[in-house]
Amino acid sequence: MLDESPQSPETPESVSLEDAVEVRECDTEASVADADAVDASEESVSKSETARRAFLTQVLAGTIGVVVGLVPVLSGLIFFLDPLIRGERQSGDSRDAVGKDAEGYIKLPVTRSLLPSDGTPQQVTVEDDLVDAWNKFPGVPIGSVWLLRSESDEVSAFSTVCPHLGCAVEFRGAQSDFYCPCHLSTFRLDGSKDNPIPPRDMDSLRVKPDTGEEIWVQFKSFRGGISEKVEI
């Protein structure tokens, strides 16, 4: 006879333990897979962010390089174009408006009728527009002249600078002459010297004819201390 020994059935405790082990192994594998997926996702995001930052850095560096390169170019362009721009502006201005014509005659701020007709000298300031490389200074005093009006309505002009050593010549009403207080030079009202101290007569200036009431004088400076009238 076959010895039929009854097989003992699996206990619930053993079945439950095996299932728990299998479940834990599955959970562990799932966790590892999730972690790998998260790492892969983070790595992808990190690479994308790095690439974006690198692109922005290159764009910014390129923009700065272009701006830095354009600064000297624009500065040089402005430097060379400024005289042309100023020339166009000045060519559009009327010379009469600034009181100076093409021959260098300057309009004085006095009219012919305001000068005494008896020949008494009147000192008048001469103004001109001074222009340097970048700026324009309108109405700057550049000197003065003595004006005399004769009975025939002719106007004479003399420089107020003494031809001796460059001091200012004054008018003495009591003596009716021109006088330099620096070295006692004296001149007649027609400009001729009245003593041997000055090397020459007073420097006369050209007055523009046919200007009506207006008085236009060709203002110039001359070298002092010599007998010849030499323009400077």
Looking at the structure, do residues 153 and 196 belong to the same domain, yes or no?
A: yes
Q: Domain span at residue 135?
A: 96-218
Burial class (CB in 10 A: 0-12, 13-18, 19+), 118: exposed
CATH number at residue 164: 2.102.10.10
pLDDT higher than threshold 90 for residue 229: yes
CA distance 171 to 160: 10
Looking at the structure, do residues 85 and 100 belong to the same domain, yes or no?
A: no
Please write the tens of the pLDDT for every residue from 116-174: 999 999 999 999 988 877 788 888 999 999 999 999 899 999 999 999 999 999 999 99
Neighbours of 35 (CB within 10 A): 10
pLDDT category, 53, cuts 50, 70, 90? Answer: confident
Looking at the structure, do residues 60 and 124 belong to the same domain, yes or no?
A: no
Looking at the structure, do residues 104 and 134 belong to the same domain, yes or no?
A: yes
Looking at the structure, do residues 36 and 102 belong to the same domain, yes or no?
A: no
Looking at the structure, do residues 37 and 52 belong to the same domain, yes or no?
A: yes
Q: Is residue 195 part of a domain?
A: yes
pTM for this prediction: 0.58
pLDDT value for 44: 62
Nearest to 224 by CA among 182, 178, 194, 190: 182
Q: Is residue 7 part of a domain?
A: no
Please write the tens of the pLDDT for every residue from 54-71: 788 888 887 887 777 777
Q: How many domains does the chain have?
A: 2
Q: Is residue 112 part of a domain?
A: yes
How far CA 42 is from CA of 28, 32, 46, 65, 219, in Å, comes to 21, 15, 6, 34, 86
Looking at the structure, do residues 59 and 165 belong to the same domain, yes or no?
A: no
Q: Say if residues 184 and 195 touch (Cβ distance below 8 Å).
A: yes
How far CA 126 is from CA of 103, 150, 212, 231, in Å, comes to 16, 21, 19, 18
Looking at the structure, do residues 80 and 188 belong to the same domain, yes or no?
A: no
pLDDT value for 8: 47
Mean pLDDT, residues 82-107 taken together: 64
